[in-house]
A and B are shown apart, each in its own frame.
Chain A
C-alpha cells in the first residue's frame, strides 16, 4: 500500500452552518479525517463549529475551535508545523481562506503543500475569466459572459450580451449576490450590490429554461477519471441548484446526451488538473444537444454529499485518499468491499433531493426563489419509482405536506404568477394547476419544467382524484397497492378518502400490502454486496436482507436541517450509536438528511434512509422487532412521535412517553410546576381578542404571543401595548376557540439560563448550566451562550439546580433533557422543558470533556453509572457559543433578533477568559476586528443611556462615531463627538444608507424600539442595508456592551489560538 510522505496534515473546516454551506461539510471533513487516520497520518483540524462530529474527541488528533481565517490558520501552522493542508473539505470558507494563505505566501514560508487539487487549478475554477479561457483552450463551451469591475462597465457588457442577463459574483458561496436582470435599471441596482461583496462581477447570457445537469467527477494523480453520479435539476436553469428539486440519476437525457456531457466532464477535469473530487454543472438545451458549462467546483460540495448518499459511493473519503497520493484502482469499493473504487455506481432506484426553506420565519423576506440560495437544509428520498421518492421527500420536509396531493395548507392567489416566478411552494402550485384543469403543456410553458416530470406529477394528481372517489368506502386493494407504489402515505390516503389512518393500515394488512427493505449496493443487484444501507419501497416482492436476531436498537435521527434543528442532533444521534455499539448492541439509524454523518453507513449497523414517521417505524418494527427505540437524541421530530410510538407498543428507551407528553403539553406542565411550587411566567390560553387584551393588561405589558394558527409572517411576537397586540392578533393570526392563542408575561431585563442535563430514573447524573449574553427575549437559538456562567449569582445557580432535580424526579426522567430558566435578581422561573437532547449538548459536552450523550445513552439502557466528580465542573477556561446569521442571502428579511429563531448555525470558541472566547467566537461568525467606524441608532432613551459608557469607550478607542439624529443629539449632550447622518426615509444627504453602501461604516448598531417592526421603517432600512452590503450589524444592547468591554481589553489580533486539549 501507498506510504505518504506527509505525516501531519492540516484540515480546514467550514465554520458555522450558513445558507449555502451546511452540514455537508461535517460529513466531508469527517470522512477526510478517517481516510488519513487509516494511514496513521496525524490530523489537525481547524473548525469552530463545536456541534460537528468532525470536532469530536476520537477523530482528529488536534482540534482548534478558532475562526477559519488566514491569521488564525497561520498561527496554527506556525505552532503545529504540518507538511500538508487540505482545502477542499470545508466548503467555500476553507477554499477562500486557503487561497488567501497561498497568495500571502504563508504556505510557502512554512513549507506546507496543498494536497489534492493545486491552488492554480482552484483559481482556474474560481476566477471566471480564467475559467472561460481554460475551457476555450479545449473548445468546451461556456456561457457568453464578461467581467465587470464597475457599474458602468456592467451596463456596457449587459447591453452587449443582450437582456435578460445574469449577474454572478466571483468567489461566492451558493450564488450569493447573483440574479437575473431584465433592464438597465436592474443591472445598475444588482451590480452595485454585488460589487460590494466582491471586486469583480460576471455578466452572462441567461439560459432560462435549459436543463440543468450536474456530474460528480473524481480524478487521481495518474489521470484516472470517472463520473460517480449525474443529477438532473427538475427546476431548470434560472433556479439555483441548491433551490431546485434534484433527481439522481438524470431522467430525461438519452444515452447520447448523458455521455456527451460525461465525456466533456472528463476532458474538462483532466485539462484543469483536479486531483480529488469536483462538481461540474451544465446547461443543456432541451431542443438540441447544445450545452454550456456553467461552473466547476473544485472541492467537495453540497452536491457531492448528495451524490455520495444517492449512490453509496463515499466521495469525500475517496477524495481524501486521492489527495494523499493514492490512485483509484488502489482503493476498494467500500460497499461491496471486494470490487474496486474505480467504477461508476449503477443505480436501480431514484434519489430525489428537495430543499427545505424556512422563509416564513422571517418578516419582510422575499419568498421568490431564483439564482441565489435561500434554503437552509434538504432531504433526500429514495424509491423505485419517481413518484414514490418525490412524495416521501415532500413529507420529510415536515412542512405539513402529506405528499403531492391531499394538502390543505398551500394556497395561491395568483396561480399563473406562482408557476412563472416561483416561491418555495411551487411544486404544490403545479398540483393545484392540475386540479384547476391546466394541461401539462400549459404548466410546461409557464415553468419550463420538463414535461416528463410534469407527467409524473399528473399521475399522482389523477391517483389522488381516484382515491377521493372512495370517500367513506373501502378502497379496492388494487388501487390501494397502486397508491402505495406511487408513494402515498396511509395518512394521505386517509385524508383523500376521508377515512382514518388505522383503517388504511388495517386494510393494507389484510391485503398484505407492505413495503420491502432494499439495499443500496452501487451495483444494481448484479454483484453480491455486503451493504447495510437500506430503504423501503412498495415496488418489490421481497426483502433484500433478513435482519439478524441480535438486539437491535432503533435511533431516530435529526431529519432535515432547518432553523432550530441542525448538526447538533446529528452529533447526538451518531454518539448514541457509538455508545450502543460499544456496549454490544446493534444499531439501526433512521434519517433522510443527506448532509449528515449519521447517514454514513459506517456509523450504525444498519442505516435506513427513509421517513421518520410512525408508519415507517411500524413497518420496520414488523421486520426487525426492536429491542429498543430512542426518540430523545434527534431533536423535536422524533420527540413528537414518542406518544404514538409508545401507544403502538414500541419499546421506547428513556423517559416514559406519557412524561414526555406531560412536559410538552403546556397545561399539564404548568400544573406540574404549580404542584412543585416552581415559578413560571404568568400565561393563559385565550380564544378571543377581547380576552387577550384583558389578560395582557392584567399581567402588564410587554407580553409574548404564541398563536396556534398563523396566517402570515412569523409565529411568535412580543406586544408592548394594546395597539401592537390588537394589530398582531388581527393581521397575522387567527384567534378563535378552534385556534387558541397563548399569551404570557414577557419579563424585561431578565437573564436567561440553560440547563442541560442527564438523569437516570429521575435522578440527575450530570448537568451543565450556561448563561445567555443577551437578556431574555432573544430566542435561545440566537443567543450567545457562555459556559461556565460568568455573571450569575451563586444563589441563582443553587435554585436552578434544585428546581432541575425536582423536575427530573417528578417526570421520572431517564436520558437527556434541557430546561430553560429566566432569572431576575434571584427570582428563578422555568420557561421551557424538553425531555430530549438540546442544541447545546455538544457544546457543553466538549467544554467539559465529558460526553453527555454517552451518559444519557447508558442511562437509557440502564447501564451502571457513576456520577462524575464535582471537580470536573471547575473550569479554568471559558467557552462562548455564538449564532451565525444568513441575512445577506435572505433578501428583504429584517435582520433583527427576537423571539423567533433566525440564525442558521453557530460556533463556539474557548479562551482563558470570557473576553477572549467571546471575541474569537464573533470573529468566527464573520465579525472583523479591530474596526474604525460605528453607526449608532440606539432606540429608546433607556437604551441610549445604558449604552453611554460603551460609546465613551469607543471614543477612547478613537473610533469614528456616526449616529442618527436622536441618538446623535443625545450623545452630543453627553460630550461625545459624533457625526449625525440623515434617516433613510428622509432621503437627504448625508444619508445613513449611502454611508453604509460606500463602506464608510464598519459596524452598525441598531437597537429597535419596539418588538414588531412590520412596517417599512427607518430602522429596518438601516439594518437591511447593513445585511445587503455585508456590514457588521448588532441589534442587541448586551451584545454591544460586552463587545466594547472586550475590545477595550484585547487589542491585538489574532488572539491566542490554543488547541482544544490544551484547555483541560
Chain B
C-alpha cells in the first residue's frame, strides 16, 4: 500500500504495465532525485522501468516533505503513459485468473498495436552494459546484474564490500572474487543460459553464492531443478515464508510468475524457505551452506525488511 516509486523503477517490471491493487496512489508524490545519491536512496533505478501504470484513484495533490514532484509529472517526464479511474480490483481478479496478459493504454482515438515484451530478452535490456566497480572493502564480490535493484546494491555497499557489477552474460571466471550474487530481474529464467553457466562455475569452485528472485531461479536451474509458470504468481509485500531450518516465519516482498520445482534437484540441495500459503519453494541451500537463494526480496524496498539478515549470513560466508 506504499512503495510506488520503488516499484515503478524496479527492473523486474521492465516492459510491463503495472496495476496497483491499492486504489489510492500518488499521495506522497515522488521524492527529489537531484543527483545519484538521491535516487539511489529512494528509487530502484535512475529512471522508470515500467511501460505504463494503471491506478484506481490517482491523487492530484501530494503531501510529503521529501517530495518535489507529483507522480504524474514524474511519469510525464519519463514519457510513461498512465491511467486513473480504472476498476483495478476487477482487473486484478481478471489477471489473477487468466495470468499476466498483454495490454495497452489507448489515449484519445489513436489505437496502438500490442507489444509483447517477452519476445525480447528482457534481462539483456536491463542489465548493465559494462563492468562497473562499486564500493570498497576487503572482500570482493561479483554481482551479476540481471536487472538488479538499487537496494540490493545498497545492502551490499552497507556491508563494506568491493563490488564488481557485471552484465548478465559476463564470464566471471576471468575475475578473482570471494562471493557471487545473482540479482533479481525480469522474465523467464530459462532464457538466462549464460548466467546459469556462471552459477555452475561458482558451485564448482566453491565460491559462496547468493541468488535473489530471478537469481534464485537461475541457481535452481544450475542445480538441476526446473522452473514453471505459476497459476497465481506472487506479487505483493505480504508473502509469508518459513525458514526450514529454524521453523520461523517471515513476511516478504515478492514479484514473480515463475517458481522452482525441486523434484530433479542434484543431491546436496535442499529447500531453505517455503511459502506458508501455497508451499512453493521460496529458497534453496546447498548442504555445504555456501550457496543459497531466496525467491523473495530480502532487500525489500518496497516492503517489509524482516529478512535483511540474509545479507549478513552471506557476508559471513565470504
Contact = CB atoms under 8 A, between A and B. Distances in A.
Interface of A: 222-224, 226, 249-259, 262-263, 266, 286-288, 328-329, 338-340, 342-350, 384-386, 450-452, 455, 518, 523-528, 539-542, 544
A451 B67 CA distance: 13
B240 interface: yes
A259 B1 CA distance: 11
B304 A451 contact: no
Interface string B57-76: 10111111110000000000
A385 B236 contact: no
Contacts of B56: 384-385, 539
A259 B304 contact: yes
Given A253-B28, A255-B301, A452-B61, A346 B2 contact: no
B249 A542 contact: no
A286 B65 contact: yes
Nearest to A254: B28
Given A263-B305, A452-B61, A251 B24 contact: yes
A452 B66 CA distance: 14
A539 B22 CA distance: 13
A255 B302 contact: yes
B21 interface: yes
Contacts of A346: 1, 21-22, 236-238
B240 A343 contact: yes
A350 B87 CA distance: 15
B151 to A, nearest CB: 10
Contacts of B248: 222-224
Interface in B150-199: none
Nearest to A256: B42
A917 B187 CA distance: 73
In this complex, the interface size class of chain B, counting residues with CB under 8 Å from chain A, is: 35 or more
Contact of B23 (A250, A256, A286, A539): A539
A894 to B, nearest CB: 43
B145 interface: no
Contact of B251 (A343, A348, A384, A525): A343
Given A254-B2, A350-B24, A452-B27, A540 B87 contact: yes
Contact of A349 (B6, B23, B63, B87): B23
Contacts of B302: 255, 259
A441 to B, nearest CB: 11
Contacts of B301: 255
Contact of B277 (A339, A344, A450, A544): A339
Given A254-B31, A451-B61, A347 B276 contact: no
Which among A222, A249, A339, A526 has the highest number of chain B CB atoms within 10 Å?
A: A526
B2 to A, nearest CB: 4
Interface of B: 1-3, 5-6, 21-24, 27-28, 31, 42, 56-57, 59-66, 87-90, 92-93, 96, 232, 235-240, 242, 247-249, 251, 276-278, 300-306
A249 B28 CA distance: 14
A263 B249 contact: no
Contacts of B62: 452
B304 A262 contact: yes
A252 B96 contact: no
Main secondary structure on A side of the interface with B: loop
6 contacts: A339-B278, A340-B240, A343-B277, A385-B24, A539-B56, A541-B87
Contacts of B61: 451-452, 455
B277 A258 contact: no
Nearest to A224: B249
A452 B304 contact: no
Contacts of B23: 348-350, 384-385, 539
B240 A252 contact: no
A540 B23 CA distance: 11
Contacts of B65: 286-288
B164 to A, nearest CB: 28
Contacts of A266: 306
Contacts of B92: 348, 524-526
Given A224-B249, A349-B23, A539-B23, A455 B96 contact: no
A254 B66 contact: yes
Contacts of A222: 247-248
B304 A527 contact: no
A737 to B, nearest CB: 48
Contacts of B88: 348
Given A249-B1, A541-B87, 9 more contacts: A251-B24, A252-B28, A286-B65, A329-B276, A348-B92, A452-B61, A452-B63, A527-B232, A539-B23
A443 to B, nearest CB: 13
Nearest to B4: A255
A254 B278 CA distance: 30
Nearest to A262: B304
Contacts of B31: 254
A526 B276 CA distance: 16
A344 B87 contact: no
Contacts of B60: 455
A250 to B, nearest CB: 8
Contacts of B89: 348, 384, 518, 524-525, 540, 544
Which residue of B24, B96, B235, B237 has the most chain A CB atoms within 10 A of its CB atom? B24
B27 A347 contact: no
A256 B301 CA distance: 8
Contacts of A542: 87, 90
A461 B55 CA distance: 24
A861 to B, nearest CB: 36
A1001 to B, nearest CB: 53
A518 B93 CA distance: 12
Contacts of A253: 2, 28
A340 B277 contact: yes
Nearest to B62: A452
Which one of A286, A338, A518, A527 has the greatest number of beta carbons of chain B within 10 Å? A527
Contacts of B59: 452, 455
Given A339-B277, A346-B236, A539-B23, A259 B300 contact: yes
Contacts of A524: 21-22, 89, 92, 236
